[in-house]
Amino acid sequence: MEKRYLGKSKLEVSALGLGCMTMVNGFEIPETRKEMENIIGRAYDLGVTLFDTAEVYGPYKDETLVGEALKPIRDQVVIATKCGVQIEDGKQVVCTRPEVIRASVEGSLKRLQTDYIDLYYVHRIDPNVPIEEVAGVMKDLHAQGKIRAWGLSEPSVSTIRRANNEFPITAVQSEYSMMWRDLENEYFSVFEELGIGLVPFSPLAKGFLTSGTDGHYHSLAWENTRFSEENMKHNMQLRNLVTRFAEEKQVTPAQISLAWVLAQKPWIVPIPGTTKMHRMEENVGAAAVTLSASELKELGEILDNFTVSGERYTPGSDMAKRVRL
């Protein structure tokens, strides 16, 4: 598989990574856990070298799964994990106080069975802790050899600039797909200016763009109003257009969707997640799909002329309040 550098950094990764968040489901079932480890191993065999997890996934169990699966090939892969979202009284709480980050990194290193983390994200921005202070902690962890690079998830442009001034950022993680392209308006120019890579989660719009034209779609994204009943009738038009385009090119809608993301910039590395072997193999196949200039122009015109109904998160919800800080 093609390799890419995240921005101006020396962090080289596969063009497509593997998001491991949902793999923790069924963690306590040996057969299911082994199946997830097999998917991770097979992804590596197919050329994937970037594997994404977080301490809060599970919570805490997903890192254990990823660490165990990658232990035999640790020096051949790039592990990304995250700090900054804690579990208190059964609820997620954003907290990036320096002592919390330092405790989190030690826990992640232990669960991942490694002595360094390749890419360490701040999972969400804590409005109560100056980002310069957070960047200073990351700089210390880097100097200690505990992390090799760091990044931010769902930050504002202002936060990116302030953090980068203190200690250069390697990557930003955010949603980006055919269905949600807001990053193009302001962020892309900042990424290019500062030499920062983009690692999109939900590059398949939470699976919406993979499901054909049968008019059905069920999402676990409970905060996502794009998939409400009233908005789905309109948004299905986008999926139908993508599906027809894929049929004409004799590939799958998922492969078209991922190939489109990859074609936008050379520093973009999407991390589609799945718990099914055949879906992972299908996604990896997107790296070999080439879109011509005319095909990209056609797809661009389709997307430019389509307005998605609904929001990523319900306005005013906790999830909405955690982004773009």
| Beta strand pairing call for 150-153 and 171-175 | parallel
Alpha helices in 80-182 (DSSP H): 98-112, 131-143, 157-166
Quick one: tokens of 296?
Answer: 């990209």
Provide the 3-class DSSP secondary structure of residue 95.
Answer: coil
CATH class of 3-204+265-289: alpha beta
Instruction: Judge whether 57 counts as a catalytic residue.
Output: yes
Output DSSP code: residue 21: G
* Of 83, 86, 93, the residue nearest 121 (C-alpha): 83
Report domain extents, the chain: 3-204+265-289
- The predicted-structure confidence for 93-107, as pLDDT tens digits, reads as follows 999 999 999 999 999
pLDDT for the residue 212? 56
- The predicted-structure confidence for 96-147, as pLDDT tens digits, reads as follows 999 999 999 999 999 999 999 999 999 999 999 999 999 999 999 999 999 9
pLDDT for the residue 234? 93
pLDDT for the residue 314? 83
CA distance 7 to 169: 9
Q: 26-30, 32-36, 185-189, 243-247: which range is least confident on average?
A: 26-30
pLDDT for the residue 217? 56
pLDDT for the residue 25? 85
Query: Of 44, 57, 120, 187, which one is the catalytic site residue?
Result: 57
**Rg of the chain in Å (alpha carbons):** 19
Q: State percent of the chain over pLDDT 90.
A: 84
The single-letter code of the amino acid at 6 is L
Q: Provide the pLDDT confidence category of residue 229 given band limits of 50, 70 and 90.
A: confident
* Of 126, 176, 172, 179, the residue nearest 151 (C-alpha): 172
pLDDT for the residue 196? 98
pLDDT for the residue 216? 54
* Average pLDDT taken over every residue of the chain: 94
Mean pLDDT of 13-34: 94
Q: Provide the pLDDT confidence category of residue 318 given band limits of 50, 70 and 90.
A: confident
Check if the beta carbon of residue 36 is closer than 8 Å to that of residue 70: no
Torsion-angle region of residue 67: left (phi > 0), alpha (psi -120 to 50) or beta?
alpha
CA distance 272 to 171: 16
